[in-house]
Structure 1
Amino acid sequence: MADDLPSRPDLRDLPFDIDLRRLNLGVGYVALGLPVSLGLVSILTNTCFNASISHYYFSRIGGDILVGALSFIGLLLMFFYSFRAPGREGCLGWHWYDVALLKLAGVAAVIVAFVPTTGSGCAYTGQVARVFLTGTRGSEEFHPPGGTVEGTISYDFWASFAQIGPDVPTALQMMHFGAAGVMFLVLGYFSTYVFTRENTTAARLAGNRKDRRNLWYRILGRITFAVVGVLAIKATLLEVLLPLALAQSIEAFWDSLRLTFLFESLGLCAFGLSWMIKGRFIAAFEDAASRPQPRAA
């Protein structure tokens, strides 16, 4: 009976290489490149510089980059790492709950991508933005000229659903921000507490550069935690503690400096650099035992 079961394919027979370092490097490059790409979108398309990275959901091209990058990161975190990873090369110091947290971060990244924030994030003056239309009416023709579609412009994702209505419930409004916080906290935890463990055989041998990598992991992890802390304090002050008039004045000044975008960019860059170090993007972080050895004469 056992002979009838299909055998597992030999990894050497697959038409591609499965390399954990390349995966780490790819995730790092995407995270690091996201804020840079969104900034370039504003410059090259001559559109508004949004108040936050999340608000680029409503920009031309930027929305596609944002959703694509977060989906890429989220899907890899959810499905590439299995609960068999702990104890294997590259994950020697991992535990089962580390994998569970990584999958949670992946789910959170997808939520951030597909449950956009509210508000335009910009004072649009003639530029084209991606918007939601409520109360739409107009041509039903598919082909040009097609007529005109009219409706009320809204930057409220949930207002598009008639069952929910124009007022966004607080729980749904906080879903985006909560998911972003969870994603950054888990990634900060990985940089500070998981990547710093001895996860490869080479890190246990003479000539390793584990101390050098750990220094950077801890710095970058703390930067990620600090970003979450600053944004959480800002939200608590403006939404809960301060009087409405003062909160609105401070928020207007904060948004005029694009501080949310800058702090989010700092968090993404810290996350990206941490994973790039994990992928050994430069030789300065590589262990001697992992470097190609000279061939004997």
Structure 2
Amino acid sequence: MDDRTRDEMILSYYRVRQALGFLGVLFPFLLMVPGLISDARIMPSLSDYYHSMQRDIFVGSLVAIGMFLVSYKGHVRAEGERLSDDFVATLAGAAAILIALCPSEPPEPAVVTFSQFALGLKAAVIGHYISAQVFLYALAYMCLFKFARTAKPVRRRIYRGCGFLIVAMGVVASIAAYHKALGSESARAFVLDNSVVFWCEAVGVWAFGVSWLVKGRAEMLLLRRPARAGSHAAPAR
């Protein structure tokens, strides 16, 4: 592979990862800031913004994140790896798109999307929450078992920190969502008044964004290294 082709490939991976990283970091702000301006409050969860004036931002951002992930191929599965980069990224991307297409429970029971019409309101909501869990934990898997595996020590600590943070926020969000739905009146009020689920989801998405931004910066370091003769350069980890 000549140097020009190698550099173009590295830049391509860099741009995809930077786009994913910036989308992840900005996504909660793109929902929260307009909501604070228009309604002076933060919704109980990211998913609740589907039922607000930020619906287009919610759906568009998730579909964009999903498409970037689905198009991401990454490394060929190495010996000893159970899942390829392509499979995990595609799984996370498909889940992100399903989150957007299968909204959470509406304030009033009414069919407003084709997925609700085709599946029924209850099934669409179940699909939404399953997709959200798959999305978060697939991203955590990428951080913990893909990015960190061959990274330099400093970046490895960042990837693992992001991965564990995503897992922790997913668990706390699930517990908070349980109390919001089935907990005592005081527990429900605490979760809703403090937007606990929203903040857990936001921190998890921010961790995802940071991990991909760091991954993109790692790619750029390859542009400063001469390609070895006869080597087939792969994106940096």
Using the size of structure 2 for normalisation, the TM-score is 0.78
Shift of residue 16, structure 1, vs aligned partner: 11
Q: Which of these residues, 36, 43, 48, is aligned with residue 55 of structure 1?
A: 48
Q: Give 1:214 deviation, angstroms.
A: 0.6
Residue 256 and residue 26 in structure 1: after superposition, are their counterparts in 2 closer, same or farther (change >3 A)?
same
Deviation at 1:49, TM superposition (A): 2.5
Are the counterparts in 1 of residues 180 and 192 from structure 2 also a CA contact under 8 Å? Answer: no
Q: Indicate the structure with greater strand content.
A: 1
* Cα root mean square deviation, aligned: 3.4
Corresponding position of 2:230: none
1:165-244, aligned counterparts within 5 Å? 168-169=121-122, 171-198=123-150, 210-236=152-178, 242=183
Opposite residue 73 of structure 1, the aligned amino acid is I
The answer to whether structure 1 residue 81 and structure 2 residue 77 are counterparts is: no
Letter in 2 for 1:71: V
Q: In 2, Cα distance between the equivalents of 1:235 and 1:74?
A: 24
Residue equivalent to 2:96: 109
Aligned residue type for 2:139: L
Query: Percent identity at matched positions?
Result: 28
Aligned residues: 221
1:239-296 CA-partner distances (Å, limit 9, x unpaired): 56x5xxx2x431222111111111110001000000000011xxxx678664379xxx
Aligned to 1:4: none
Q: 2:36 aligns with which of 14, 38, 43?
A: 43
| 2:25 aligned partner | 32
Partners of 1:47 and 1:27 lie apart in 2 by 29
8 A contact 2:102–2:116 mirrored in 1? no
In structure 2, the CA distance between the partners of 1:16 and 1:162, relative to structure 1 (3 Å rule), is: closer
Deviation readout 1:74-95 (Å, 9 max, x if unpaired): 112123427xx416xxx99976
AA at the equivalent of 1:28:
G
Residue type matched to 1:264 in 2? Answer: E
- Residue number among 201, 224, 228 corresponding to 1:291 in the alignment: 224
Mapped partners of 2:58, 2:124: distance in 1: 20
Which structure has the larger Rg over C-alpha atoms? 1
Q: Is the 8 A contact 2:99 2:132 kept in 1?
A: yes
1:64: Cα distance to partner?
1.0
- Cα gap change, 1:58/1:211 in structure 2, threshold over 3 Å: closer, same or farther? same
Report the Cα distance in structure 1 between the residues aligned to 2:111 and 2:186, rounded to whole angstroms: 23
- Say if 1:71 and 1:113, in contact at 8 Å, map to a contact too: yes
SS of residue in 2 equivalent to 1:86:
coil
Q: In the alignment, is the contact (CA less than 8 A) between 1:115 and 1:157 conserved in 2?
A: no
Instruction: Give the Cα–Cα distance (whole angstroms) in 1 for the partners of residues 192 and 224 of structure 2.
Output: 47
Give TM-score, length-normalised by structure 1. Answer: 0.64
Structure (1/2) with the larger helix percentage: 2
Q: Structure 1: where are the runs of 5+ without partners?
A: 1-10, 121-152, 204-209
Aligned to 2:61: 69
How far the C-alpha of 1:237 sits from its partner, in A, is 5.0
